[in-house]
Chains A and B, each alone.
Chain A
Amino acid sequence: MEREVIANAFHHVTWGVPISIYFWLMGVSAGAHVISGFGWVFGLKKYKQVGLIATLWAIGVLLIVPVLLIFDLGRPERFFHLLTPGYWHGSAPMSWGTILIMLYPTMMIVYGYFIFKNNAKWAFIFGICGIISAGSTHWYTGVVIQLNPARDINHTALASVLFLLGAFISGTGFLIVTFWFMNIFVNPMRRFRDRFRQEGFAYRFLKANSIGDKVEDSLVVEMGQIMAIGVGIELLMTFNEFLQMNYGTAEEQASLFDVLLGVARVPYMAHVFIALVIPFFILIFTPLKRSPGVVTICSAMVCTGILGMRVWWVLGGQFLQTFF
């Protein structure tokens, strides 16, 4: 039978791009922090030289997060309500998240301090705490949108795991791109570093961050391989989600065909092809995987594609319902 909705209220896509970017930045930060932990927590010597800069990036990226979160609120001047006893609401995922978002940078700062001081024991302890809090904070970003039965795209138990993996690969990719920049400017940076006295704070700080030292090509290639494994698992899970929606309820099918392959197909395709399929193919199956330049390009693709995922995840998840 023919039917046509001729009048309805127009509902908004209420969480917009700032929230998508917040999810993305949080992931980049958490991923970078995990890479930092490779050296100081898991004892992989090669990664020690980039431990501090990875953590500093993780903290730096995180500094943008409060701006996004607070100014996205309708009443930003009331953000402290999230932590006010008597207001705090234990059943709301956002309440746990608020605590995690505060805990995570604190852990990282302490951890960064011990790396700088070259204190392996405490760097190890706070590194573990940091990795756990980085993981939980990013797990929560998946959960906060997953626990909404009304949003067919987001309401999947895979959500938080997809978010965690996305974090890991985009964080790794982000670091690889950073190393590429550092290597381009290695000579001017060394000249800059060598202007300072060797026993002074500035010199030691720059040195500890590998500023003026070339990041080894072998490290970049190895990180590319680690990233590729993450990309592979994420690809499998995204395919699983695709299958689930394809064989799913009417809402799930409409989410797939009308939203993900319809109105939000650009970010969805960016995620699937730019972040996953192409880098995975290059980094696993071709000899190009040994070229630091190619690894860097793949990393940039992964980073951008994961931003696409955050966009379709947040916006696309709300779209179908705006007409109900």
Chain B
Amino acid sequence: MTEDNKNHGKSHGRDYGIQTTSGLGVEGRKRYAMVIDLRKCTGCGSCVVACKSEHDVPLGVWRMWLKTEDKGTYPDVKRTFLPRLCNHCEYPICVRNCPTQATFKHEDGFVLQRFNRCIGCRTCVIACPYNARHLLPNHRTDEKQPVGVVDKCDYCIHRVKRGLVPTCVSTCVGGAFTFGDLNDPKSEVSKLVKKNSVMTLKPEIGTHPQTYYIGLDEGIADQVASYRHRSAQMKEEYNTFKKNHEGFHGDLTEGGSHIVVQVVRNFLGFLKEIPAKAGRVLGLGG
């Protein structure tokens, strides 16, 4: 598989961003990857909770989350789950498009974020095909935590560097998550990828994700199906969430209020933030 991956990488011939070189299949280099066996996922959400507490993830944004879909007609109904996180892509568009090199590809495969460089322009959020990024809000309960910058899953590099697995992996009750070095043929991830038919999300975009799924259902992985087949409750929740969420005044909602009202609300929200931000530019805090 390592060899296959290497060739796959070569056939793409893409190197995105000046810091990114692919280490897949390169001897002596590590290539951390995650394999999620969806057949074992019970949808308990432990991974999401563990991630939230490990990284103090604010309300309204997610480093990892659980997408859930029901399919079939009663009584033949099946519920499928899809834990979602950053794919630590081999060719990450987020890295290529970041104007300050705040996000970069670590030589061991992690796609990481440097908070001290990030200006919060959200170009990377726009660029990521997987919604893996979010802007941290301006107000945090713990004042030492970063604000106004973009954050994302980092495969818990702080744990991995100490010989531990990411927190979602260690918390998973079903044992669905496996983490390891894809360049090491003896690693569990290498074996899993070799033995099973694995899928990645949106392979057609050419990002070559390093989060692999076993037993991925076509519907839950499909962007258009996800959009069209939202439950009524989800639509409602989405609207409520958007209207109430601090920091993104007046995101588009559906059916909630007219788009013109939302556009005006969005702009007014932006204007309201200017004095506080101007204070920060002038070094007055705020």
Contacts and interface: CB of A to CB of B under 8 A. Distances in A.
Nearest to B125: A14
B223 interface: yes
Nearest to A258: B227
B101 A150 contact: no
Contacts of B126: 14-15, 145, 148, 150-151, 318
B1 interface: no
A250 B224 contact: yes
Interface string B126-152: 111111001110100000000111100
A94 B99 contact: yes
B69 A82 contact: no
A89 B18 contact: yes
A75 B119 contact: yes
Nearest to B84: A9
Interface in A182-198: none
For A18, A79, A91, A319, which residue has the most chain B Cβ atoms within 10 angstroms? A91
Contacts of A82: 99-100, 119
B271 to A, nearest CB: 9
A9 B242 CA distance: 12
Given A6-B69, A12-B251, A89 B101 contact: yes
A6 B17 CA distance: 37
B270 A18 contact: yes
A79 to B, nearest CB: 6
A9 to B, nearest CB: 4
B58 interface: no
A149 interface: yes
Contact of A149 (B93, B229, B277): B93
Nearest to A267: B259
A202 interface: no
B70 to A, nearest CB: 5
A75 B118 contact: yes
A7 interface: yes
Contacts of B100: 81-82, 84, 87-89
A284 B147 CA distance: 53
Contacts of A199: none
Interface in A1-53: 1-18, 21
B97 interface: yes
For chain B, the bracket of interface size reads 35 or more
Name the residue in B125, B136, B228 with the highest tally of chain A Cβ atoms < 10 Å from its Cβ. B228
A17 B263 contact: yes
A10 B241 contact: yes
Interface in A86-103: 87-95, 98
Contacts of A251: 223-224
Nearest to A78: B119
B278 A71 contact: yes
A150 B73 CA distance: 32
Interface stretch (B5-13, B60-68, B189-197): B60-68
Contacts of B278: 71, 76
A91 B228 contact: no
B26 to A, nearest CB: 21
Contacts of B123: 92, 94, 144
Nearest to B220: A5
A263 B254 CA distance: 7
Contacts of B185: none
Interface string B28-58: 0000000000000000000000000000000
Contact of A73 (B121, B136, B234, B248): B121
A67 B277 CA distance: 11
A148 B127 contact: yes
B129 A150 contact: yes
Interface string B104-117: 00000000000001
Contacts of B98: 89, 92
A72 B224 CA distance: 30
B159 interface: no
Given A3-B70, A5-B230, A324-B131, A148 B259 contact: no
A70 interface: yes
A315 interface: yes
Given A75-B148, A251-B224, A6 B231 contact: yes
Nearest to A21: B267
B122 to A, nearest CB: 5
A10 B242 contact: yes
A96 B96 CA distance: 13
9 contacts: A3-B70, A5-B230, A11-B131, A74-B119, A74-B121, A82-B99, A91-B18, A149-B93, A150-B205
Interface of A: 1-18, 21, 67, 70-79, 81-82, 84, 87-95, 98, 144-145, 147-151, 250-251, 253-254, 258, 263-264, 266-267, 311, 315, 318-324
Given A4-B70, A320-B224, 5 more contacts: A12-B242, A14-B248, A73-B148, A75-B148, A76-B278
> Lowest 3 CB-CB distances: which A-B pairs, in order?
A74-B120, A150-B129, A74-B148
